[in-house]
Amino acid sequence: MKKWLKRLGIGLAVALIVAQFIPVARSNPAERNLIEAPGEVQAVLQRSCDDCHSNETKWPWYARVVPVSLLIARDVKDGRRKLNFSVWERYDDAGKARKKKEIVREVKKGNMPPWYYVPFHLDAKLSSSERELILKWADQP
């Protein structure tokens, strides 16, 4: 039994080392726009949302370590697909209204920023006044 556990441990260690050499997409496309929002709203969105919802992701050192790199890359890809502030001008009026409704829903539920993101990015946590600021902006047509 001990030999089996030792071999399993060595196998996992080798797999993790080899996995470090698998490339993970960490890109920041060049397209960048400022959204139509007051400066204070833009500042909160940049601080709390841009890492996953824009083309201005700050990739921390641990975004290069498997398996964390795979999770972060997936979250950024999904976040940009759902809402990307860097391409806000590409959304038509109906699209912008739909995105704003989604923002309201997610912020009211407390889903944004995600609970697992905040411990590593303490400045991303939204205060109640910042939540209200975003909700007030997003509730406008």
- Tell me the CA distances in angstroms from 3 to 8, 12, 14, 124, one per residue in order: 8, 14, 16, 46
Give per-residue pLDDT as tens, 82-123.
Answer: 999 999 999 999 999 999 999 999 999 999 999 988 998 899
Other CB atoms within 10 A of residue 126 CB: 19
Domain ranges of the chain: 2-138
Give per-residue pLDDT as tens, 24-60.
Answer: 776 777 777 778 889 999 999 999 999 999 999 998 8
Determine contact, residues 53/79, Cβ cutoff 8 Å. Answer: yes
